[in-house]
A and B are shown apart, each in its own frame.
Chain A
Amino acid sequence: MARTDNNPVLKVENVRKSFGDKEILKGLSLSVKKGEVKVIIGPSGGGKSTLLQCINFLVVPDEGEVWLEGRKINYAKKRELYAYRQQVGMIFQDFNLFDHLTALENVQIGLVRVKKMDKVSAHERAAAELRRVGLAEHAGHYPAQLSGGQKQRVSIARALAMDPKVMLLDEPTSALDPELIGEVHAVIKDLVANGMTMLMATHQIGFASVLADEIIFMEDGCIVEQGPPTQILLNAQCTRTKEFCAKITHLSADS
């Protein structure tokens, strides 16, 4: 047992990606163990989103390998890719709910269409996930009728319904106004308390420092520094990390 616990759930090795002649990811490696929460911080344009999207091959990396529970993912095989993606929950900055479906249907559709679950069980499961994120009474509402925070919670429920082994969160609260951030943070905290494995990009430094087992500072497609929150936020080795953390902490203190 101890051996499996030490093995990472998700391992990323030497991922490179260029768009045109601009190199976005310059050979990044990282790994996340079961129940661990790693938070990626760093300036916009530093490659955080691209990294997360490379991990489930929404952006196909030019080079590099991704391993889930010790198995290397062969993304060229469609079946294997689709099966892998079901096990990796993805939360996007701008929610990306399906506009023509109600909150409940948004959660349900992956179960029915991808997992081929029967409609009754899928409906029950979807309703349970919506309750979990506190949106039971909004089940029948369409995305156009929900607030940003509610949309993001639906999208979290949608990801959870698939029973992911790890979740990738790409700035889950960046598109929300300050009053709505709290409700989404509460849901994420709850997930962490329940042992969800997570890799999250965010600018919410205070939130990150409470949750994270490790903070990764990323800039220009490279990991500059990584370590426990106290080390990165208070005692960073690299001056650039210090600068960034000082600025971002100052900003979040203001708001």
Chain B
Amino acid sequence: MEELVYIQHEVLPSLFQGLWISVLLIIPSASLGLVIGILMGAARVFAGRPVMMAANIYVALFRGIPLVVQLFIWYFGLPYFGIYFSPFLASVVAFSLCSGAYHSEYIRGALLSIKKGQMLAAEALGFGRLEMLRSIVLPQALRRALPGCGNELIYLIKYSSLAYMVTCIELTGKGKILASHSFKYTEIFLIVGAFYLVLVSLAGLLLRHMENRLSLPGFEFHRT
């Protein structure tokens, strides 16, 4: 009984605060990550050699270095150069750049799947390269990339839990603090886990809804 009261009055309010911070981390990181991913993906397929190389190096770095290490560099490393990020900002920067690297790979694949003929047709109509990318190539590529990018969003929700390593106390951080005070590790982390599960399920529903809304004849997502 005492335990339930403790959970209801101490644990849940604190975890909800943490959850809110997590959501505040996830939303800008997911949006920025997607934008970076689209730019980098497009650069890796369509840009001239120097830009393409730069984008490839970006992906190699941010996909190749463990995210925790990246977080540490942004938060603990940059002050060495006189640049100070708040824990929150350091986390958003690290998550966006990492997420962007993964997104760019899904988007690159989708861009490569667009039939060359359609680009010829657009060019023959007098489209410039950017206009063609915007109105012909990307609308199709994004539809094809959606399942992969959705997957990346779900990863992001879970790796946002790393933010507490640089003292941005979000859901996992709150859980850790509560648990070390009360030693109720099992109960508290079960609740934390359930929170993440709910977030991921909501994201899954949202993605499914988007897939259905964006589905067109010829672009159906076949589910078996």
Contacts and interface: CB of A to CB of B under 8 A. Distances in A.
Interface of A: 53, 56, 58, 78, 82-86, 88-90, 92, 94-100, 109-110, 113-114, 141-145, 155, 158-159, 162
Contact of A88 (B124, B131, B143): B124
Contacts of B216: 100, 142, 144
Contact of A86 (B117, B121, B126, B139): B126
A97 B127 contact: no
Contacts of A58: 120, 123-124
A106 to B, nearest CB: 9
Interface of B: 115, 117-118, 120-128, 131, 135-136, 139-140, 143, 216-219
Closest 3 pairs between A and B when the two form their complex, measured CB to CB = A144-B218, A86-B126, A96-B121
A96 B117 contact: yes
Contacts of B126: 82-86, 110, 114, 162
A84 B127 CA distance: 11
* Majority DSSP secondary structure for residues of B touching A: helix
Contacts of B124: 56, 58, 85, 88-90
B218 A99 contact: yes
A100 B125 contact: no
B122 to A, nearest CB: 7
Contacts of A145: 217-218
Given A96-B118, A142-B216, A113 B123 contact: no
A139 to B, nearest CB: 14
A99 B121 contact: no
B203 to A, nearest CB: 25
A142 B219 CA distance: 10
B135 A113 contact: yes
Contacts of B135: 109, 113
B128 A92 contact: no
A78 B117 contact: no
Contact of B131 (A53, A113, A162): A113
Contacts of B127: 82, 110, 113-114
Given A82-B128, A114-B131, A98 B123 contact: no
A89 B117 CA distance: 15
A53 B121 CA distance: 11
